[in-house]
């Protein structure tokens, strides 16, 4: 179960239950901490609910206090009509409307702060203050209902006031807290996270002040590495405000299993302290104290035990605010840590062995989360177990790393797929204490045992250099696909699911056919041989990149050129071009026939969709919208091709690449013949070049075949979904995407479904979309990041992996969604990842930079074939490079410069 799920119960469920019980709390506007627990979330907000819950844990000290409930806030808002009018205006705004947000939120705050607190609420507050000692100092803190949730922490969005003394001052600051729900930052945060302003209510926490000698934050999981077994403490002198506001650097202590494993003692020049008459002030720390350790080692270990106890109570990692007064630790807040990536669940929970997981998405060029139906079908198509976490799939490579033989194979494979994964795995191996090493065992070389679902670079049969092998494989795949389309027509209900399961076995045979693998492995090995030998013999790097241009049978690169041909059909018809520039929905194809040239345009687009319409971004997830389902996706690319190219550009581009490859081949052979033993070297090289040109194009075909079959399955499953929707079992067809294949089979069989499952999974999916998946994660939750180890690069170079040689300068276009692409000829595409669906954009660009990828991933293969310099695996490229900047891409050396 996802750690972030709120104390074992969905937040949405708690909120709904509490709304239903809302009447029960109408009588009381103020509740003491002793009357509050985690179920009172809707009454006292996240902070209040957590403080009440903390007060109940034996041995945990929480300064006493009370909460003014959300009912008081709702009453004040409801009794002031002008606020409703302002909220109506606020609800129409978007994040970009900064000036208007500032204006409206300021007006709402002014109105709220001017409202007198009603007499009955005032009396209840006075009674509680009297009980706690009215002359004491208090902290007055905001607590929103959408706060400290697993999906959004809302940290720092509402206001806190410290050291407030006297009833009148406290009442004034309660109003200030209510008003702080409408600061610009709080309004903007809600807009960004999709929260409705009217549905977020505010409670106010009034809590006795503690005057601490030290304070800070404790994380029960390391906030840097995410390791759940390492606890991290930030500590400073005085009140925690100095740390939170960034005035001072904190001491940082790391603790694991009752041992302090790391300490960073900072220079603490300032501290914030409470004043006797109220308020706070900054104070210089005496020089002799500035570099002193804030907490003793004994206190650190004592506090570790407190942190673990709180984490156990809440059932998920916590971010805990604390202060130390009179050598006693007081807890003033605890909230779930929302940024942790969930840990894949091992299948040996009892043994508690250490595990290492590698991301499948980074190898498949799809790091977005997958919906349950997509994930389960992809798992059925794969060999070996996959482990789920955060809506992504991972492979457990622990056993492969434990054996010296299979470790070598794994590292070699990862080196080709994603060198950052390889480097991260090397880091784990070098630690020596995380995985127990097995003795060297030659038997481990069996791929079925050691590769546990990983792609393999070895174990391939030898193959003749005969291009008809490729055409036979393609023909066989197409025949099989036509049979599937024919046979699936007659299937429905539970029979359909049995039929799809049988066909997936057929698909796996095609995908993992030894002859099929041997074809592209022969080309990959020939490319490696050429690069190594030409560098050694002629001093030229990455020569295979040029030789791979415009090879036959590359279904993905043909797709990009075919869209240029579609542009050629439309180019003569200005009326159609104008019409396409203004279309909004996917019915545009039916409207085309009204125009001159409309029938030809429609036929050309349909012919293209017939061959490539099953493709889309993130296509390994069957639930993603295909081009055939949303043809508007292609329109901006077609218009871009009309604008950027002359007629017949597709053929010219292909021929130009072919000529460059032939010219390079001739040049290499001529130079080799001049060398000692040149005749033999030239002959061997000629054979290797022939292998590349005959076979490398097929590298893209197996996935094309798989995605074709996926689309056939999808169309059949959506027919079942239509019937479920008509029977009111589901609300809309797309609801089936949130069920696994087996769950959907059961729903179709019984015509029954607990719809809460769909709602819960939709919420989970929204959470997963915000998470960044790691390449490598351990069973401790630690994320291991790999590094490129390279020397002699320019100081400002942004480093990646060289996958397609050449150097190019141009304007960077940072594009995260293919549909938003507005490219000029000569732009350089910068994006997070590219799969085959991005290929039509490649015809317009001069270079490529991606955050994810390796030597043999799709973007790299197509970049080489189109002759585009490319650097992939550039961490955070889409943040480091700004849209519109001029950059230089060094495809041969593997780095990017911002000019």
515-540: average pLDDT: 93
Q: Is residue 215 part of a domain?
A: yes
Residue 299 backbone zone (phi > 0: left; psi -120 to 50: alpha; other: beta): alpha
Q: How does 306-341 read in b/e, with b if 16+ C-beta sit within 10 Å?
A: bbeebbebbebbbbbbbbbbeeebbbbbbbbbbebb
Q: Are 395 and 270 in the same domain?
A: no
Q: Are 200 and 241 in the same domain?
A: no
What's the pLDDT tens digit per position in 182-202?
888 888 888 877 777 777 888
Q: Are 146 and 215 in the same domain?
A: no
What's the pLDDT tens digit per position in 271-299?
888 777 777 778 888 888 888 999 999 99
State which residues form the domain around 293: 211-340
| % of the chain with per-residue pLDDT over 70 | 92
Q: Is residue 12 part of a domain?
A: no
CA–CA separation, 240 vs 215, rounded Å?
5
Task: Decide if pLDDT at 842 tops 60.
Answer: yes
Q: Are 358 and 773 a contacting pair, CB within 8 Å? A: no
Q: Is residue 771 part of a domain?
A: no
pLDDT tier for residue 151 given thresholds of 50, 70 and 90: very low
pLDDT tier for residue 441 given thresholds of 50, 70 and 90: low
pLDDT at 244: 67
Q: Is residue 764 part of a domain?
A: no
223-249: average pLDDT: 83
| % of the chain with per-residue pLDDT over 90 | 63
Q: Are 202 and 215 in the same domain?
A: no
Q: Domain with 244 in it: what CATH number?
A: 3.30.470.20
Which of these three, 431, 462, 489, is where a domain ends? 431
> Which of 12-26, 302-316, 536-550, 578-592 is the least confident region?
12-26
CA–CA separation, 204 vs 142, rounded Å?
5
Which of these three, 386, 402, 431, is where a domain ends? 431
Which of these three, 209, 228, 263, is where a domain ends? 209
Q: Is 141 exposed, middle or buried (0-12, 13-18, 19+ CB in 10 A)?
A: buried
Sheet holding 807-814, edge to edge: 798-799, 895-898, 886-890, 807-814, 827-831, 845-850, 870-872, 801-804
Q: Is residue 589 part of a domain?
A: yes
Residues with a catalytic annotation lie at 858
Q: Is residue 813 part of a domain?
A: yes
Query: Into how many domains does the chain fold?
Result: 5
Q: Are 276 and 375 in the same domain?
A: no
- Tokens 């490129």, residue? 788
Q: Are 65 and 97 in the same domain?
A: yes
Q: What is the DSSP letter of 436?
A: P
Q: Domain with 792 in it: what CATH number?
A: 3.50.30.10
Q: Are 192 and 66 in the same domain?
A: yes
CA–CA separation, 526 vs 736, rounded Å?
45
What's the pLDDT tens digit per position in 87-133?
888 877 777 788 888 888 888 889 888 888 999 999 999 999 999 99
Q: If we measure between CA atoms, which residue out of 381, 534, 523 comes closest to residue 460? A: 523
Q: Are 55 and 135 in the same domain?
A: yes
pLDDT tier for residue 757 given thresholds of 50, 70 and 90: very high
Q: Are 333 and 216 in the same domain?
A: yes
What's the pLDDT tens digit per position in 792-818?
888 889 999 999 999 999 999 999 888
pLDDT at 266: 86
Q: Are 321 and 303 in the same domain?
A: yes
pLDDT at 295: 94
pLDDT at 11: 46
What's the pLDDT tens digit per position in 42-54?
999 989 999 999 9
pLDDT tier for residue 245 given thresholds of 50, 70 and 90: low
Q: If we measure between CA atoms, which residue out of 321, 299, 320, 322 comes closest to residue 311? A: 320
Q: Is residue 767 part of a domain?
A: no
127-145: average pLDDT: 89
Residues for the chain: how many in total? 899
Q: Are 184 and 73 in the same domain?
A: yes
Q: If we measure between CA atoms, which residue out of 505, 508, 509, 503 comes closest to residue 485? A: 503
> Which of 1-5, 293-297, 386-390, 743-747 is the least confident region?
1-5
> Which of 91-100, 669-678, 682-691 is the least confident region?
91-100
Q: Are 34 and 142 in the same domain?
A: yes
pLDDT at 453: 45
pLDDT tier for residue 16 given thresholds of 50, 70 and 90: very low
pLDDT tier for residue 563 given thresholds of 50, 70 and 90: very high
Q: What is the largest CA-CA distance in the chain?
A: 102
Task: Decide if pLDDT at 549 tops 70.
Answer: yes
Q: Is residue 333 part of a domain?
A: yes
What's the token pair of residue 661? 């490859």
pLDDT at 458: 40
More confident position, 199 or 772:
772
Q: Domain with 103 in it: what CATH number?
A: 3.30.1490.20
């Amino acid at each position: 179960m996802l750690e972030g799920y709120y104390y074992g119960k969905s937040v949405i469920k708690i909120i709904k239950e509490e709304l239903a019980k809302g009447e029960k709390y109408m009588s009381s506007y103020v509740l003491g901490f002793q009357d509050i627990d985690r179920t009172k979330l809707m009454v006292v907000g996240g902070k209040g609910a957590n403080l009440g819950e903390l007060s109940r844990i034996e041995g945990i000290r929480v300064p006493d206090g009370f909460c003014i409930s959300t009912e008081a806030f709702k009453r004040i808002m409801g009794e002031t009509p002008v606020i409703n009018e302002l909220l109506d205006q606020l609800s129409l705004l978007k994040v970009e409307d900064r000036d208007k947000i500032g204006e409206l939120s300021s007006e709402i705050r002014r109105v709220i702060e001017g409202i007198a607190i009603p007499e009955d609420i005032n009396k209840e507050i006075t009674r509680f203050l009297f009980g706690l000692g009215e002359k004491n100092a208090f902290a007055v803190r905001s607590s929103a209902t959408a706060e400290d949730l697993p999906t959004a922490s809302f940290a720092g969005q509402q206001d806190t006031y410290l050291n407030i003394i006297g009833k009148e001052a406290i009442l004034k600051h309660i109003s200030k807290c209510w008003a702080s729900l409408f600061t610009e930052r709080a309004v903007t945060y809600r807009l960004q996270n999709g929260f409705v302003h009217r549905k977020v209510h505010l409670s106010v926490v009034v809590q006795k002040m503690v005057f601490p000698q030290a304070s800070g934050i404790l994380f029960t999981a390391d906030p840097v590495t995410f390791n759940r077994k390492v606890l991290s403490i930030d500590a400073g002198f005085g009140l925690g405000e100095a740390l939170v506001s960034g005035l001072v650097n904190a001491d940082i202590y790391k603790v694991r299993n009752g041992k302090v494993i790391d300490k960073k003692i900072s220079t603490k020049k300032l501290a914030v302290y409470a004043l006797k008459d109220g308020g706070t002030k900054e104070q210089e720390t005496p020089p002799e104290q500035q570099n002193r350790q804030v907490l003793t080692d004994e206190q650190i270990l004592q506090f570790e035990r407190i942190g673990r106890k709180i984490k156990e109570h809440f059932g998920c990692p916590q971010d805990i605010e604390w202060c130390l007064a009179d050598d006693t630790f007081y807890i003033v807040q605890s909230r779930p840590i929302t940024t942790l990536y969930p840990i894949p669940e091992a299948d040996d929970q009892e043994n508690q062995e250490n595990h290492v997981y590698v991301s499948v998405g980074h190898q498949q060029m799809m790091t977005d989360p997958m919906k349950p139906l997509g994930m389960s079908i992809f798992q059925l198509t794969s060999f070996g177990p996959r482990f789920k976490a955060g809506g992504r799939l991972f492979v457990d490579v622990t056993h492969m790393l434990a054996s010296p033989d299979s470790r070598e194979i794994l590292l070699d494979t990862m080196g080709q797929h994603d060198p950052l994964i390889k480097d991260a795995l090397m880091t784990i191996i070098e630690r020596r204490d995380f995985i127990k090493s097995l003795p060297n065992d030659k038997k481990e070389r069996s791929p079925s045992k050691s590769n546990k679902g990983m792609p393999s670079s070895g174990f391939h049969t030898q193959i003749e250099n005969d291009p008809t092998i490729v055409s036979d494989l393609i023909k066989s795949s197409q025949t099989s696909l036509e049979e599937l389309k024919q046979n699936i027509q007659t299937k429905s209900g539970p029979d359909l699911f049995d039929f799809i399961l049988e066909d997936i076995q057929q698909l796996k045979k095609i995908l993992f056919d030894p002859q099929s693998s041997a074809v592209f492995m022969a080309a990959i090995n020939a490319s490696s041989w050429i690069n190594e030998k030409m560098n050694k013999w002629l001093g030229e790097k990455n020569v295979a990149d040029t030789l791979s241009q415009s090879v036959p049978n590359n279904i993905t690169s043909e797709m990009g050129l075919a869209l240029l041909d579609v542009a050629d059909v439309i180019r003569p018809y200005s009326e159609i071009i104008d019409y396409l520039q203004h279309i909004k929905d996917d019915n545009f194809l039916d409207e085309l026939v009204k125009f001159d040239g409309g029938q030809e345009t429609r036929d050309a687009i349909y012919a293209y969709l017939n061959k490539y319409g099953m493709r889309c971004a993130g296509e390994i997830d069957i639930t993603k919208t295909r081009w055939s389902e949303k043809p508007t996706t292609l329109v901006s690319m077609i218009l871009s091709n009309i604008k950027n190219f002359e007629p017949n550009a597709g053929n010219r581009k292909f021929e130009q690449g072919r000529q460059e490859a032939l010219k390079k081949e001739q040049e290499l052979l001529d130079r080799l013949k001049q060398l000692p033993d040149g005749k033999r070297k030239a002959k061997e090289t000629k054979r290797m070049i022939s292998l590349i040109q005959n076979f490398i194009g097929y590298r893209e075909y197996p996935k094309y075949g798989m995605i074709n079959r996926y689309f056939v399955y999808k169309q059949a499953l959506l027919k079942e979904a239509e019937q479920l929707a008509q029977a009111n079992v589901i609300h809309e067809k797309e609801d089936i995407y949130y069920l696994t294949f087996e769950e959907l089979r059961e729903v179709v069989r019984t015509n029954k479904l607990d719809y809460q499952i769909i709602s819960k999974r939709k919420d989970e999916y929204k959470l997963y979309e915000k998470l960044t998946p790691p390449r490598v994660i351990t069973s401790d939750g630690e994320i291991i990041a790999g590094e490129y180890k390279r020397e002699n690069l320019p100081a400002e170079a942004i480093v990646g992996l060289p996958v397609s040689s050449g150097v190019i300068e141009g304007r960077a276009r940072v594009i995260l969604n293919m549909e938003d692409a507005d490219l000029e000829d000569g732009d350089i595409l910068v994006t997070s990842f590219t799969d085959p669906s991005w290929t039509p954009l490649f015809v317009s660009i001069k270079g490529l930079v991606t955050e994810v990828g390796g030597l043999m991933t799709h973007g790299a293969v197509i970049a080489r074939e189109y002759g585009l310099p490319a650097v992939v695996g550039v961490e955070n490229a889409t943040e480091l490079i700004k849209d519109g900047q001029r950059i230089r891409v060094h495809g041969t050396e593997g780095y990017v410069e911002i000019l």
